[in-house]
Structure 1
Amino acid sequence: MILQKLSIIIPAYNEGNTIHLILDKIKLVSLTNNIDKEVIIVNDCSKDNTEQAIIAYQQANPDFNIQYFKHEINKGKGAALHTGISKATGEYLIIQDADLEYDPEEYNDLLKPVINGFADVVYGSRFMGSNPHRILFFWHTIGNRWLTFASNMFSNLNLTDMETCYKLFDTKVIQGISLTEKRFGFEPEITQKISRIPKIRIYEVGISYYGRTYEEGKKIGWKDGVRAIYCILKYGLFKAK
């Protein structure tokens, strides 16, 4: 399959210290077959210098295709993704966190099943492959695996990492899905809804993971895990639209 453009969706909340670093990494990535990159940043009403950092980066890199949008009130990561997805013009899009936990150099690994004509959706799994993974929280790992198991029960998929940030979608497919979860419930919602699309081809590839501690800026907590369970039941068991 020949792709012309990849849209990279970055939801950002209080990432003024790292947003320029992740943009540097994205800028340096050479995509397979010279695919163009379109970076869409959605600032979810950050309280720090995120906006100033993004604008300064745009001004210093005028040839780098960065589109900037912002929410006037904080709505959550899912809501920022909704905005970014609606603005995407590439044939495929990938979700990229604004921190440094995920490595843009692995975009080509995610693209490979698509370019070879096998996949419509590709998840990057932190729990498979031989790439480096930072050792952090035992109970987070158990929680992620349990949520993936529960999601698989209702989606009838055999994913190893439903909660991963790195998800690559056919843009027209995801833009055609009604998404409602405004916070971290985005992950189980999109997984359940994608799984119900007839003949959808979902692949998974191993990725590296450079996780952050809460002191370093990690935001997800136990309440988000509870919400994820609710979303798995809502969109999986009860097939909510």
Structure 2
Amino acid sequence: MDTTLSIIIPVYNEERTILKILEKIELVVLEQEIKKEIIVVNDCSSDSSEILIQNYLQEKKHLNIRFFSNEINVGKGASIHKGISEATGDYIIIQDADLEYDPREYNILLQPFLDGFADVVYGSRFMGSKPHRILFFWHTVGNKFLTFLSNMMTNLNLTDMETCYKMFSADVLKSLQLQEKRFGFEPEVTAKMARIPNIRIYEVGISYYGRTYKEDKKITWKDGFRAIFCIIKYGLLKL
């Protein structure tokens, strides 16, 4: 089977974890001999992230890793857009550069595709029996509220719209005209995906090793308000 999974990693000031996540991805063995393509997009980090990535690329020339660097900070969403445009794989997944999500679970998300059921698979932090770090009550309430509001606008029954782990058939994702440059990617892609006729969206349970703000968690309450705006905006607009 000559099939490839493109793994898009947007990076902004992740010097503590970027090498660890790259090493974890390197060790992942995908099911049915699916190949890996790793696309790293550095969003003008002000720490040593880019130097660490460049050194890693020199040491790991045998790996299928492609690196891009934004000249100015344009946001996570814009970095993901760049990764999507450069991806050549049959499937695409977004991987944050921190350690909150486990790349060993790519196979869980891949299975509905390999079984011929899915066009899109969301990895839910709120279902299944995988381990979940216990953190912030209001952060969890906020995530569930955003998912509820998104479901109202899209008529889906997702349990975790804001999850990082979304895997797509590449042709489906590349067909969307995405606009959000920062943290509005999740509600926008969900709203636009839901409008595709006969789209097959699945959800699987995944683990979640969340980090605190002292551990450099970047999303804030302001991003939550932006998400609400995007849910309403893209829920009301046609593709």
State TM-score, norm by structure 2.
0.99
User: Where do 1:50-129 residues align within 5 Å?
Assistant: 50-129=49-128
Q: Aligned equivalents of 1:3 and 1:162: distance in 2?
A: 31
**Deviation sequence 1:177-215 (CA, Å, 0-9, x none):** 000000110000000000000011000000000001011
Aligned mates of 2:172, 2:35 — CA distance in 1 = 20
Identity of aligned residues (%): 67
Asked if structure 2 preserves the Cα contact closer than 8 Å seen for 1:3 and 1:115, the reply is no
Aligned to 1:75, what secondary structure does the other structure show? coil
- Paired with 1:3 and 1:106, the residues of 2 have a C-alpha distance of 21
Query: C-alpha displacement at 1:92, in angstroms?
Result: 0.5
Deviation readout 1:91-112 (Å, 9 max, x if unpaired): 0000000000000000000000
Contact 1:101 1:212 in 2 (8 A): yes
1:3–1:199 CA distance, 2 compared to 1 (3 A)? farther
Which residue in 2 is equivalent to 1:220?
Answer: 219
Q: How does 1:159-238 map to 2 (within 5 A)?
A: 159-236=158-235, 238=236
User: Conserved in 2, the CA contact under 8 Å of 1:234 and 1:240?
Assistant: no
Q: What do you get for the CA RMSD once the two structures are aligned?
A: 0.8
Which amino acid is 1:173 matched to?
V
1:239 aligns with 2:237: yes
What stretches of structure 2 of length at least 5 have no aligned partner?
none
Amino acid at match of 1:98: A
The TM-score with structure 1 as length reference comes to: 0.98
C-alpha separation in 1, matches of 2:91 and 2:3? 9
Q: Which runs of 4+ in 1 moved over 3 A?
A: none
- Following the alignment from structure 2 to structure 1, what is the Cα–Cα distance between the partners of residues 16 and 162? 24
Aligned residues: 239
Per-residue displacement from partner, 1:54-99 (whole Å, max 9, x unpaired)? 0111111111111000111111110000000000000000000000
- 1:27 matched residue in structure 2: 26
Q: For residue 151 of structure 1, what is the amino acid of its counterpart? A: S
In 2, Cα distance between the equivalents of 1:127 and 1:54? 32
